[in-house]
Structure 1
Amino acid sequence: MLREVMEEEFRRSVKEGLVLADFYSATCGPCKMLSFVLADVEKACGDKVNIMKVDFDKNKVLVEEYGVSGYPTLIFMKDGEELKRLTGLQQKPAIIKMIEEAL
């Protein structure tokens, strides 16, 4: 199950390993559709990647710090460093490819 994190947990979680952060809004249609895609990605990738949801409206400090200007925005990070970001609704194969490239 995808888990929503707040700032403190986000900062702890991104320090090690591969992380996929989904910056989303609860009122965004594409964000809701992306949640289903990410749930499938999580099943397919197991523990290769830590997928977390970051509510755009509840985490303004992170939104500003990471320069997130729209949602959904996916940010791929490895050991605390941003590798890539995607904005808008994405498909499962593209997300899985990004994860595999980052491993």
Structure 2
Amino acid sequence: MLKEMVREEFEQDIAEGSVLLDFYSKTCGPCKMLAFVLQDVEKQFGDDVKIIKIDFEENPDLIEKYNVEGYPTLIMFKDGVELSRKAGLQQKPVIIKMIEESL
């Protein structure tokens, strides 16, 4: 199951290892389609990557901090450093490449 962001754990979650943030909205059609893709990707990579979902409307401070302009937006981190980002609905091979480049 994809992990919803927990405010108290957020900084610790992105500080170590490979982490993919999914900025989404519950009312966004492409975000819902992306969730299915991310579930498949999560199964493929297991514990090698954390995928954390961040609700756009509930986290305006993180939207501002990471300069997210729309949803869905994916941001790939490695040990707390942003490596790449993609805006809009992404296909599975693009997401896999983002993750593989962080491992």
Counterpart amino acid of residue 66 in structure 2: Y
Matches within 5 A, 1:71-82: 71-82=71-82
Figure out how many residues of one structure are paired with residues of the other and give that number: 103
1:18-47: per-residue Cα shift (whole Å, max 9, x none)?
000000000100000000000000001111
- Any conservation in 2 of the 1:7–1:62 contact (CA below 8 Å)? no
Gaps of 5+ in 2: none
Shift of 1:101: 1.4
Gaps of 5+ in 1: none
Shift of 1:102: 1.4
**Distance across 1 between alignment mates of 2:7 and 2:62:** 7
Structure 2 SS opposite 1:99: helix
Matches within 5 A, 1:1-103: 1-103=1-103
TM-score, with normalisation over the residues of structure 2? 0.96
Shift of 1:7: 3.0
TM-score, with normalisation over the residues of structure 1? 0.96
**Distance across 2 between alignment mates of 1:7 and 1:35:** 20
1:43-90: per-residue Cα shift (whole Å, max 9, x none)?
011111100100011111111000001000000001111000000001
Determine what percentage of the aligned residue pairs are the same residue. Answer: 65
